[in-house]
Amino acid sequence: MTRWTVRRLRRPQATTSLYFFPHAGGSPGEFVRWSDHLPEFQVWGVHLPGRTSRAGEPAYTRMEPLVEALVSAVTFAERSVFFGHSLGALVAFETARELRRRGLAPPAGLIVSSCPAPPLPPEVTAESLSTLGDDDLFGRAVRLWDLPAADLSADPAFKKHAVISLRGDFAVLENYRYRPEPALDAWITVLSGDQEPPSVRAPSWQQHTHRPVSTAVLPGGHFYFRQQQHEILRILRDTVLTRGDH
């Protein structure tokens, strides 16, 4: 274990490890808690610089150095599945490709949540959120994700750290340039909320895998899984156990 990954429970008997890649501005804690409900798996949260206990480290602003540093620091389990939400799905995808470039074991599958397939549609990267002032950046994130602004703004320390991680993560997204490579030999499952833009449910993820892509749409918006936790956990378990290494 390195500072790049965190876990809640150690499960040496688990044959598959699930790695969770959080959304922009997100921390791994929300997903690591799912370990309580996924006893079949070793659950890891990917912990990027610029947030929570790594708040003193500068946040990355470009995908390539971020992924290179992550893969250099973490020894991913041989049998693994990556789950990424929003920007986290993009980081998970590029991490899988970097593992392949280095001749290391890539994940058996990717579960991509609320993220269009690369190359990203222009509307995703058109707005330069990373250059906004602190208040405007925080307010824009609140509106984008329907967050409880009054509750969050009441904690100045939280707001300060949230802005730092959001600014870096939005810069990663805005600076991202997809480089075509052969499709992955990993299955892909696409998840989204039914109130999200159609682009996150587009079938274009199929171009990135030799295997059939499966999809599931749940009620809700960008953070649909917070209202549908029981269902998302069921989908995760069923998907990994059914698709496995195949």
In Å, how far from its chain's centre is CA 86? 6
Give all strands of the β-sheet with 42-46 in edge-to-edge order: 5-6, 42-46, 17-21, 80-85, 109-113, 187-193, 213-218
86 is catalytic: yes
- Strands 5-6 and 42-46, how do they pair? antiparallel
Type of residue numbered 163: V
User: Considering Cα of 234, then 79, then 24, then 151, what sign does the dihedral take?
Assistant: positive
Tokens of 184: 């992955």
Catalytic residue among 86, 113, 165, 192: 86
In Å, how far from its chain's centre is CA 112? 7
Tokens of 13: 């008997």
d(Cα 227, Cα 232) in Å, to the nearest integer?
A: 9
222 is catalytic: yes
91 and 23 Cβ atoms separated by less than 8 Å: no
Catalytic residue among 47, 85, 208, 222: 222
What letter would DSSP give residue 209? B
Active site residues: 86, 222
